Amino acid sequence: MAPIIPDQTFDRGQPSNPTTSPSDDTERCPFCRIVNLYTPYDPISPPEASSPLISPELAAPGPETYVLLSTPVVIAFLDIMPLSRGHLLVCPRRHAPKLTGTTPNEARELGYYLRVLSAAVGRATGVDDWNVVQNNGAAAAQVVPHMHYHIIPRPEIRAQGRWSEKFTMFGRGQRTDLEPEDGERLAVSIRAEVAEILQQEAGDNVAIHAAPVVREKL
């Protein structure tokens, strides 16, 4: 059995290219760029939408980033090519290509916030069903090599006869550009729902409903 070593290369199983270093990997990584631009905040009292700390334009000239959660360990933001409204990503701040490159603590934190963010996006969109997906490696359709979970709301679309179309291979489905105005509105709402969920369950260990009541149609 090979010794356990930190996962530092994009291409697992291949030796690192001796002309590059792990820092080259992170310099090229779009998620590391987001991590470096957006500092952590207390998710129970997120910044106002007008705060420069979470300004979508911090990411200029790249695509705007709509931050939903930013802790010392993990960060979540809206996918810029969503498969559905509210499609979001959550990843560790530290660069790790695959799930097996995370630390036990990062893996636990991701598991915890998947649950919180699932509930928050359900409340913010009013959509009851959703998928959680995490792809490791090219054969698994991974595109950005900084490990991340997707949360993808699934509105009831079978009635519209579009089910099979939307459930094609993950990452190759019908994706559309995120509209900045809607991104901003969704991000404000999801940050507020995250705060409310964390406040409500502080101290207890209870299960949470995803979207029992939609407060406002967004």
Residue 15 as a binder of its own copies (CB under 8 A): the answer is no
DSSP characters for 70-94? E-SSEEEEE-SS-SSTT-EEEEESS
Residue 191 as a binder of its own copies (CB under 8 A): the answer is no
Residue 144 as a binder of its own copies (CB under 8 A): the answer is no
Provide, rounded to whole angstroms, the least separation between the CB of residue 64 and its own copies.
Answer: 28
The partner residues of 152 in beta bridges, in order of sequence, read: 131
Residue 143 as a binder of its own copies (CB under 8 A): the answer is no
Question: Of the ranges 32-40, 50-58, 131-139, 175-183, which one interacts with its own copies (CB under 8 A)?
Answer: 131-139
The residue (of 33 and 115) whose beta carbon lies closer to its own copies is 115
Provide, rounded to whole angstroms, the least separation between the CB of residue 61 and its own copies.
Answer: 33
Q: Residues 15, 72, 104, 161: which binds its own copies (CB under 8 A)?
A: 104
Spatial contact of 195 and 188, defined as CB atoms under 8 Å apart: no
Residue whose token pair is 């960060």: 75
Q: How many residues does the chain have?
A: 218
Question: Of the ranges 2-10, 19-27, 174-182, 183-191, which one interacts with its own copies (CB under 8 A)?
Answer: 2-10
Q: Residues 37, 49, 114, 195: which binds its own copies (CB under 8 A)?
A: 114
Calculate the CA dihedral of residues 167, 170, 174, 177 and round it to 10 degrees.
140
The residue (of 128 and 184) whose beta carbon lies closer to its own copies is 128
146 a catalytic residue: no
The residue (of 59 and 120) whose beta carbon lies closer to its own copies is 120
Tokens of residue 191, six digits: 């940050």
Tokens of residue 40, six digits: 């952590």
Give the span between the Cα atoms of 211 and 151, in whole angstroms: 15
Give the span between the Cα atoms of 107 and 49, in whole angstroms: 29
Active site members: 148
